[in-house]
Amino acid sequence: MLLLHGPNLNLLGEREPEVYGTATLDDHVGEARRAAAVAGMTLEHLQSNAEADLVEAIHGARGRCAAIVVNPGALTHYAWSLHDALAAFGGVKIELHLSNPNRREAWRHTSVVAPVVDASLVGLGADGYPLAIDAVRRLLARRAAPAATSPAASP
Ligand code: DQA
Protein backbone atom coordinates (compact mmCIF):
# COMPACT_ATOMS: atom_id res chain seq x y z
CA MET A 1 0.00 0.00 0.00
CA LEU A 2 0.99 3.61 -0.51
CA LEU A 3 0.97 6.33 2.16
CA LEU A 4 1.05 9.88 0.78
CA HIS A 5 1.56 13.18 2.55
CA GLY A 6 1.18 16.56 0.90
CA PRO A 7 2.61 20.03 1.50
CA ASN A 8 4.01 21.17 4.84
CA LEU A 9 3.54 17.79 6.48
CA ASN A 10 7.32 17.36 6.46
CA LEU A 11 7.23 20.01 9.23
CA LEU A 12 5.10 17.91 11.60
CA GLY A 13 6.49 18.09 15.12
CA GLU A 14 7.51 21.73 14.62
CA ARG A 15 4.48 23.10 12.79
CA GLU A 16 1.55 24.31 14.93
CA PRO A 17 1.97 21.54 17.54
CA GLU A 18 -1.22 22.71 19.27
CA VAL A 19 -3.10 21.66 16.11
CA TYR A 20 -1.04 18.76 14.75
CA GLY A 21 0.72 17.39 17.84
CA THR A 22 4.41 16.91 18.54
CA ALA A 23 5.03 13.68 16.65
CA THR A 24 7.16 13.99 13.53
CA LEU A 25 6.29 12.68 10.08
CA ASP A 26 8.83 9.88 10.63
CA ASP A 27 7.01 8.94 13.85
CA HIS A 28 3.69 8.67 12.00
CA VAL A 29 5.16 6.75 9.08
CA GLY A 30 6.87 4.36 11.50
CA GLU A 31 3.55 3.74 13.27
CA ALA A 32 1.80 3.18 9.95
CA ARG A 33 4.54 0.83 8.77
CA ARG A 34 4.26 -1.25 11.94
CA ALA A 35 0.47 -1.43 11.64
CA ALA A 36 0.77 -2.41 7.97
CA ALA A 37 3.27 -5.16 8.80
CA VAL A 38 0.92 -6.58 11.43
CA ALA A 39 -1.83 -6.58 8.78
CA GLY A 40 0.52 -8.40 6.38
CA MET A 41 1.06 -5.42 4.07
CA THR A 42 4.16 -3.56 3.00
CA LEU A 43 4.00 0.21 3.01
CA GLU A 44 5.61 2.69 0.63
CA HIS A 45 5.68 6.34 1.63
CA LEU A 46 6.06 9.66 -0.15
CA GLN A 47 5.80 13.18 1.21
CA SER A 48 5.98 16.02 -1.27
CA ASN A 49 5.31 19.72 -1.26
CA ALA A 50 4.58 19.51 -5.01
CA GLU A 51 1.13 18.58 -6.30
CA ALA A 52 2.63 16.98 -9.43
CA ASP A 53 4.69 14.51 -7.37
CA LEU A 54 1.55 13.32 -5.60
CA VAL A 55 -0.32 12.94 -8.90
CA GLU A 56 2.61 10.92 -10.32
CA ALA A 57 2.74 8.74 -7.21
CA ILE A 58 -0.97 7.95 -7.51
CA HIS A 59 -0.51 7.09 -11.20
CA GLY A 60 2.44 4.86 -10.26
CA ALA A 61 0.28 3.00 -7.75
CA ARG A 62 -2.29 2.03 -10.40
CA GLY A 63 -2.33 -1.75 -10.88
CA ARG A 64 0.52 -2.11 -8.41
CA CYS A 65 -0.71 -1.06 -4.94
CA ALA A 66 -3.82 -2.43 -3.27
CA ALA A 67 -4.55 0.77 -1.38
CA ILE A 68 -3.67 4.44 -0.88
CA VAL A 69 -3.88 6.36 2.37
CA VAL A 70 -3.49 10.07 1.62
CA ASN A 71 -3.22 13.21 3.68
CA PRO A 72 -3.04 15.85 0.95
CA GLY A 73 -2.52 18.74 3.42
CA ALA A 74 -3.94 22.01 2.08
CA LEU A 75 -4.23 20.46 -1.40
CA THR A 76 -7.24 18.65 0.06
CA HIS A 77 -9.25 21.80 -0.33
CA TYR A 78 -8.58 22.74 -3.96
CA ALA A 79 -6.42 20.23 -5.88
CA TRP A 80 -8.79 18.78 -8.47
CA SER A 81 -5.81 17.03 -10.07
CA LEU A 82 -5.64 14.84 -6.96
CA HIS A 83 -9.38 14.22 -7.19
CA ASP A 84 -8.98 13.04 -10.79
CA ALA A 85 -5.86 10.96 -10.09
CA LEU A 86 -7.56 9.20 -7.16
CA ALA A 87 -10.67 8.63 -9.28
CA ALA A 88 -8.43 6.75 -11.73
CA PHE A 89 -7.03 4.51 -8.99
CA GLY A 90 -9.06 1.32 -8.57
CA GLY A 91 -7.79 0.21 -5.15
CA VAL A 92 -8.95 1.12 -1.68
CA LYS A 93 -8.56 4.85 -0.89
CA ILE A 94 -8.58 6.50 2.52
CA GLU A 95 -8.33 10.25 3.16
CA LEU A 96 -6.61 10.95 6.48
CA HIS A 97 -6.20 14.19 8.44
CA LEU A 98 -4.57 14.73 11.80
CA SER A 99 -6.88 17.62 12.67
CA ASN A 100 -10.60 17.84 11.99
CA PRO A 101 -10.77 20.37 9.14
CA ASN A 102 -14.54 20.66 9.63
CA ARG A 103 -13.97 22.30 13.02
CA ARG A 104 -11.53 24.83 11.60
CA GLU A 105 -11.65 27.74 9.11
CA ALA A 106 -14.46 27.62 6.56
CA TRP A 107 -12.04 27.17 3.64
CA ARG A 108 -10.96 23.83 5.14
CA HIS A 109 -14.52 22.48 5.16
CA THR A 110 -14.41 21.45 1.50
CA SER A 111 -12.45 18.35 0.54
CA VAL A 112 -12.15 17.81 -3.21
CA VAL A 113 -10.81 14.29 -2.63
CA ALA A 114 -13.61 13.14 -0.28
CA PRO A 115 -16.00 12.26 -3.15
CA VAL A 116 -13.50 9.78 -4.66
CA VAL A 117 -12.27 7.93 -1.55
CA ASP A 118 -13.82 5.03 0.33
CA ALA A 119 -13.59 6.78 3.68
CA SER A 120 -12.26 9.88 5.40
CA LEU A 121 -10.69 9.78 8.87
CA VAL A 122 -10.30 13.18 10.50
CA GLY A 123 -9.41 14.59 13.88
CA LEU A 124 -7.87 11.47 15.38
CA GLY A 125 -4.28 12.73 15.48
CA ALA A 126 -1.63 10.01 15.54
CA ASP A 127 -4.28 7.35 16.20
CA GLY A 128 -5.53 7.95 12.67
CA TYR A 129 -2.62 6.00 11.18
CA PRO A 130 -3.25 2.56 12.70
CA LEU A 131 -6.99 3.14 12.27
CA ALA A 132 -6.51 3.95 8.58
CA ILE A 133 -4.41 0.81 8.08
CA ASP A 134 -7.10 -1.25 9.81
CA ALA A 135 -9.72 0.36 7.57
CA VAL A 136 -7.64 -0.59 4.51
CA ARG A 137 -7.40 -4.19 5.76
CA ARG A 138 -11.14 -4.38 6.35
CA LEU A 139 -12.07 -2.80 3.02
CA LEU A 140 -9.72 -5.12 1.13
CA ALA A 141 -11.24 -8.12 2.93
CA ARG A 142 -14.70 -6.85 2.05
CA ARG A 143 -13.71 -6.62 -1.62
CA ALA A 144 -12.26 -10.13 -1.52
CA ALA A 145 -15.46 -11.56 0.01
CA PRO A 146 -18.41 -9.54 -1.32
CA ALA A 147 -20.89 -12.00 0.18
CA ALA A 148 -19.84 -10.81 3.64
CA THR A 149 -20.48 -7.20 2.70
CA SER A 150 -22.23 -5.18 5.38
CA PRO A 151 -25.25 -3.02 4.47
CA ALA A 152 -23.12 0.11 4.84
CA ALA A 153 -21.04 -0.98 1.87
CA SER A 154 -23.97 -1.41 -0.48
CA PRO A 155 -24.34 1.21 -3.22
C1 DQA B 1 -4.35 18.64 7.41
C2 DQA B 1 -5.52 19.65 7.38
C3 DQA B 1 -5.35 20.66 6.26
O4 DQA B 1 -6.40 21.61 6.28
C5 DQA B 1 -4.04 21.40 6.40
O6 DQA B 1 -3.86 22.28 5.30
C7 DQA B 1 -2.87 20.50 6.57
C8 DQA B 1 -3.02 19.35 7.47
C9 DQA B 1 -4.46 17.69 8.61
O10 DQA B 1 -3.82 16.65 8.58
O11 DQA B 1 -5.14 18.01 9.59
O12 DQA B 1 -1.78 20.74 6.06
O13 DQA B 1 -4.42 17.87 6.23
5-59 pLDDT, tens digit each: 999 999 999 999 999 999 999 999 999 999 999 999 999 999 999 999 999 999 9
Range of the domain at 89: 2-148
Percent of residues, the chain, with pLDDT higher than 70: 94
- Lay out the sheet containing 67-71: strands in order across: 44-47, 2-5, 67-71, 92-97, 119-122
The residues that are catalytic are: 20, 97
Ligand 1 atom 11 nearest Cα: 99
Residue 154 resides in a domain = no
Q: Which CATH number fits the domain that encloses residue 132?
A: 3.40.50.9100
Mean pLDDT of the chain: 95
Decide if 104 is inside a domain: yes
The single-letter DSSP state of residue 63 is: T
CB 108 within 8 A of CB 139: no
Confidence of residue 152 (pLDDT cuts 50, 70, 90): low
User: Is position 95 within any domain?
Assistant: yes
Residue of 15, 97, 103, 113 with the most ligand 1 atoms within 8 Å of its CB, for mutation: 97
Kindly report the pTM of this predicted structure. 0.93
Strand partners, 92: 67
Ligand 1: distance of its center to the CA of 148 in Å? Answer: 34
Whether residue 153 is contained in a domain is answered as: no
| Averaged pLDDT for residues 89-96 | 98
Residue 47 β-bridge partners = 5
Residue 135 pLDDT level (bands cut at 50, 70, 90): very high
Residue 67 domain-assigned? Answer: yes
Q: Count CB-CB contacts under 10 A for residue 133.
A: 27
78: CB partners within 8 A, 6+ apart? 110, 112
CA distances from 92 to 2, 115, 118 (A): 10, 13, 7
* Ligand 1 atom having least distance to the Cα of 100: 11
What pLDDT is stored for residue 35 in this prediction?
Answer: 97
Q: Is the CB–ligand 1 distance for residue 47 below 6 Å?
A: no
Question: Hey, which of 3, 99, 107 would you mutate to test ligand 1's pocket, going by the most ligand atoms within 8 Å of its Cβ?
Answer: 99
Q: 46 in a domain, yes or no?
A: yes
- pLDDT of amino acid 154: 52
- As a whole-number percent, the residues of the chain with pLDDT over 90 amount to 93
Residue 155 lies in a domain: no
Total count of domains within the chain: 1
